[in-house]
Amino acid sequence: MIARRQLLAAVAGFTVLVAAAPAAAAPEKLKVLATFSILGDFVKNVGGHRVEVATLVGPNSDAHVYAPAPADAKKVADAALVMTNGLGFEGWMDRLVKASGSKAPVLVATKGVKERKAVDSHGHGGADPHAWQSVANAKIYVANIRDALITADPAGKATYEANAAAYLGKLDALDQEVRAAVSAIPADRRKVISTHDAFGYFQQAYGIEFIAPQGVSTEAEPSARDVARIITQVKKQKIPAVFLENITNARLMERIAQETGARIGGKLYSDALTGDLGDATSYIDLIRHNMKQLTVALAA
Ligand code: ZN
């Protein structure tokens, strides 16, 4: 009888041990909040399994017109570390951090990036915030993220250093890939008309010129007169391709193509990744996608 009791106790003890084991094997992850999807992708690549990444402005969403919701203050309050782009990209962030009551450190991931001025205000203020459009700048983000993660979670130092080194290697390869693709485009064809002033750093790094349509509002659907202006400009400046995201009228696009001979480019991604089913689910895919669109539009 005693033996049986002991056995039951042993079985019960064993059950407790089994139940406790998984909890011990899964230490708590460092909660990191990134303000937008591209930055979130960088943090995931460096943080790996040690971090849990939340984002405020998600895939396919526009940080320019973003308005924080009450749930976002909770996301900030829950984070042990907050990552921002800076350069005026998140004009709403200071107020949100204050409202959340968070005492978490806030990293500006563009720290050390050579800032360029925006051609027009583009809703962001004086600086051009789209620094990630140059892969060399993306590498600066990654180094800053690595250092911030090590400061917040010193036990993960070796992991963060190894992950960052591996990802930086991929970014080096990506940078080479873009340079090779651009060099295959004839030098006099390396220019496009674009309505979204988000590719200044790309232009600076890789030498493809993004020209704003003159005298055309980039906010609204262009009028017939705007289209006539674009046609004159494309002919005069011999621009081989146009990327006009805000023209939804296919007939206007056809008119530009017919009257100028310019190619109509596909979609270029600037400020956000796509959702899981899109063609820019990661930063690397985003840059590759854009380069492919430019290559198709500008090939001789
Ligand atoms: Zn933008």
Q: Where would I find the beta strands (DSSP E) of the chain? A: 30-36, 51-57, 81-84, 106-108, 191-194, 209-211, 241-243, 263-264
Q: How far is the CA of 65 from the centre of ligand 1 (A)?
A: 10
Question: What architecture is domain 184-298?
Answer: 3-Layer(aba) Sandwich (3.40)
**Which of these, 178, 225, 184, 226, lies nearest to 204 by C-alpha position?**
178
- Show the tokens assigned to 221: 């659907």
pLDDT value, residue 123? 54
Q: How far is the CA of 41 from the centre of ligand 1 (A)?
A: 17
Whether the domain at 30-175 and the domain at 184-298 fall into the same CATH topology: yes
Sign of the Cα pseudo-torsion (6, 8, 9, 10, in order):
positive
Per-residue pLDDT reduced to its tens digit, 273-289: 999 999 999 999 999 99
User: Would you place residue 122 in the very low, low, confident or very high pLDDT band (cuts 50, 70, 90)?
Assistant: low
Q: Are 38 and 90 within 8 A, CB to CB?
A: no
Q: How far is the CA of 128 from the centre of ligand 1 (A)?
A: 8
DSSP, res 48? G
**Mean pLDDT across the chain, nearest whole number?**
88
What is the DSSP track for 172-226? HHHHHHHHHHHHTS-GGG-EEEESS---HHHHHHH--EEEPPTT--SSSPPPHHH
In which order are the strands placed within the sheet that holds 30-36?
Answer: 51-57, 30-36, 81-84, 106-108
Per-residue pLDDT reduced to its tens digit, 24-41: 566 799 999 999 999 999
Domain ranges of the chain: 30-175, 184-298
Specify the fold of 30-175: Rossmann fold (3.40.50)
Per-residue pLDDT reduced to its tens digit, 229-252: 989 999 999 999 998 876 667 788
Q: How far is the CA of 245 from the centre of ligand 1 (A)?
A: 13
Q: How far is the CA of 129 from the centre of ligand 1 (A)?
A: 7
User: Would you place residue 258 in the very low, low, confident or very high pLDDT band (cuts 50, 70, 90)?
Assistant: very high
